[in-house]
Amino acid sequence: MKFIHNRQELEHTLILMHHEGGTIRELSRRFQIGRNTVRRILRAHVQRRDSGHEVLIPLRAGLKRTSKLDGFDSEIKKLLGKYPKITGLRIYEELKEAGYPGGISILRQRLKKLRAPDREPVIRFETEPGRQGQMDWSPYTIPFTRSGKGTVQCFSYILGFSRRQYIDFTTHRDFYSLIRRHQDAFQYYGGVPKECLYDSEKTVVLRWECGRPVFNPAFTAFITHYQCKPIACRRGRPQTKGKIEAPFQYVEGNLLNGRDFQDLEDLQARARWWLKERSDLHLHDTTRHAPLELFAQETLQPLPLHPYDSSEVALRVCGPDGYIEFETNHYSVASGNIADILSLKATEHEILIYTPEIELIARHQRYPAGLGKRVENPDHFKTKKRRYGLEPIREAFLELGESAEEFLKGLTQRHPRNCGFHARYILRMKEHYQSEDIHKAIEHAIRYQAFEGRSIERILRAKATPRTLESIRNERARQELQKTLPKITQRPLDQYSELLREDNNHDGGDPHQDQAPSRDPEASRNTKGP
């Protein structure tokens, strides 16, 4: 065994054994050194050789590099040709049986070269000014100094020609966050591109059929309001949106790294500063111009006269305590609206509440979902003191129908202490079902003595169809139309029976004899003989 006396001999031996086919693992195990150390020695040798410097092992002309895999190439190609998806481990097992003395590492390196696909080159498409934008999301975990560690979603929009970017950070990645950040981006640019590239996420693309995207109708209504054509990228092709993918690395490396943020509001404020002071002014690697410089050439479409209404609309039943619930938070309403079906309109920062006649009765600041906060306006409870139990909602419950009173009696006997809870539970179902359907469910429950709120809910799920906001609006429109139309009085059926009896009792003469004479003179002349 040859003894190694110094570092130079060690490196010389490692390089020589690697040329002869030794793997990094084998070399690391034999010389009791780390694999990374072996890799550094080999990389240094390659760098010196490629740069033309003297290397530890002079490469003699005509020297052929040997490998333990020499002589097994035909067997490997045969297996790959017969089984294209065969694993490296299975090939290794077959070669071992054929007498292969080496390890699996050099086999995998050989397979990697043999299996290297002919990849389609990625072509960078440049667009003319004002034509195209690209949009995407990226999550980040930020260790906020005030609120603690939290995950935020980074919304990014970039113009294809100038590479001018807009970013913002939110806690949600839902549909309403998507369209609101779009509006902020369009306002930031002062215009809208003609088209925009998107990933196939559900907020934009519902599904693919026959190779074509089926866009979300709600998103289509929004994006067409701004005269922008959406283009969905093919799945598994992130390079299609290469202009938006790379800037995320720039955001992470230049904005997020090396800075501390107190909370989400601080992060959003710093992002707005960073856009103006860094992103707009930096020299882009591809265009070799600052984005703000090229932005002057962008020919964007003008913003519409009125922005798209990005509010959420929902129906809520006012509880007996004078509050309605939205996203686990409770907002006060005037006590005179207890048990009424109210329309709730949620903007990004406000909660607006309307009566069934679309009259604004409450306005509150919107709080984030999940806080469980009670937001109260003291003026809502000045006229009537809040009451609990069954009495505050008795009148509203009796309006459900004739059987409501009988059901209340049974409910009071069955649940004397919490009958108010069950009654309120049933009234809250008016958010999803027609009052007529609830009354039918009450009648059904009375037959089986099922005096519980859960029983009514099970019956409705089995026998009724949930109503939508559109159906409620249509019903209200129908009721208003009926008020304006004249009332038509139907004849009693016995009058028709009397007329039939008169016809049957006729003496067989001319059936037209008893009819009233015609006022038409032409008809009178036709009745005379020649």
Question: What is d(CA 337, CA 392) in angstroms, rounded to the nearest whole number?
Answer: 11
Q: Are 347 and 308 in contact (CB under 8 A)?
A: no
Tell me: the pLDDT tens digits for 453-494? 899 999 998 988 887 655 665 666 666 666 666 666 666 767
* Maximal CA-CA distance, the chain: 148
Q: Is 258 left (phi over 0), alpha (psi -120 to 50) or beta?
A: left
Same domain, 283 and 244: yes
CA distance readout (Å), 403 to 188, 441, 450:
59, 10, 13
- 30 domain-assigned: yes
Question: What's residue 237's pLDDT?
Answer: 57
Give the helix ranges, DSSP H, for 24-103. 24-31, 35-50, 73-82, 88-97
Q: What is the DSSP letter of 252?
A: I
- 528 lies in a domain? no
Of 337, 345, 333, 339, residue with least CA distance to 378: 333
Dihedral angle computed from the Cα positions of residues 60, 63, 67 and 71, in that order, rounded to the nearest 10 degrees:
180
In terms of domains, do 274 and 248 share one? Answer: yes
Q: What pLDDT, on the 0 to 100 scale, is given for residue 247? A: 76
pLDDT the model gives residue 512 = 47
Measuring CA to CA, how many Å separate 278 from each of 162, 238, 272, 292?
15, 26, 10, 11
The pLDDT value recorded for residue 235 is 66
| Domain-terminating residue out of 381, 408, 431 | 381
Residues of the chain with pLDDT below 70 are: 1-6, 48-66, 116-125, 235-245, 382-389, 468-491, 493, 496-497, 499-530
Residues 406 and 327 in one domain: no
Structure-token match 């469910």, residue found: 441
Of 360, 381, 402, which residue sits at a domain end? 381
Determine the Cα–Cα distance for residues 163 and 225; give it in Å rounded to an integer.
24
Which stretches of 66-174 are DSSP H helices?
73-82, 88-97, 104-114
Q: Is 122 a member of any domain?
A: no
pLDDT, one tens digit per residue, over 309-321 is 999 888 888 877 7
**Radius of gyration, alpha carbons of the chain:** 40
The pLDDT of residue 379:
82
Pair 204, 229 in one domain: yes
Report the C-alpha gap between 94 and 37 in whole angstroms: 32
- Is 274 domain-assigned? yes
Output the six-digit token pair for 109.
């390196």
Question: What's the confidence (pLDDT) of residue 205?
Answer: 93
User: Rounded distance, CA 134 to CA 231, Å?
Assistant: 10
Does one domain contain both 236 and 206?
yes
77 and 171 fall within a common domain: no
The 3-state DSSP class for residue 260 equals: coil
Task: Indicate the DSSP class of residue 301.
Answer: B
pLDDT on residue 52: 43
CA distance 200 to 206: 8
pLDDT value at position 20? Answer: 74
Using one digit for the tens of pLDDT, what is the confidence trace for 136-169?
999 999 999 998 999 999 999 999 999 999 999 9
Domain boundary among 463, 489, 519: 463
Question: Residue 483's pLDDT is what?
Answer: 66
State whether 212 and 334 are in the same domain: no
pTM of the model: 0.56
Q: Hey, which bits of 267-418 come out as E strands?
A: 312-317, 323-326, 329-332, 341-346, 350-354, 360-365, 374-375
Q: Based on the domain organization, do 288 and 411 belong to the same domain?
A: no
Residue 337 sits in the same domain as residue 361: yes
Q: For residue 135, which amino acid is it? A: M
201 with 258, same domain? yes
**Taking the CB of residue 459, how many other CB atoms lie within 10 A of it?**
20
Which segments of 318-434 does DSSP mark as H helices, in order?
394-398, 404-414, 419-427
Residue 319: helix, strand or coil by DSSP? Answer: coil
Q: How many domains does the chain have?
A: 5
Alpha helices for 205-332 (secondary structure H): 217-225, 242-251, 264-274, 291-295
Exposed e or buried b per residue across 464-498, where buried means at least 16 C-beta atoms within 10 angstroms of its C-beta: beebeeeebeeeeeeeeeeeeeeeeeeeeeeeeee
Q: Are the beta carbons of 178 and 203 closer than 8 angstroms?
A: yes
Which two structure tokens, joined as six digits, stand for 157?
């929009």
Look up the domain containing 242 and give its range.
Answer: 132-295
Same domain, 318 and 288: no
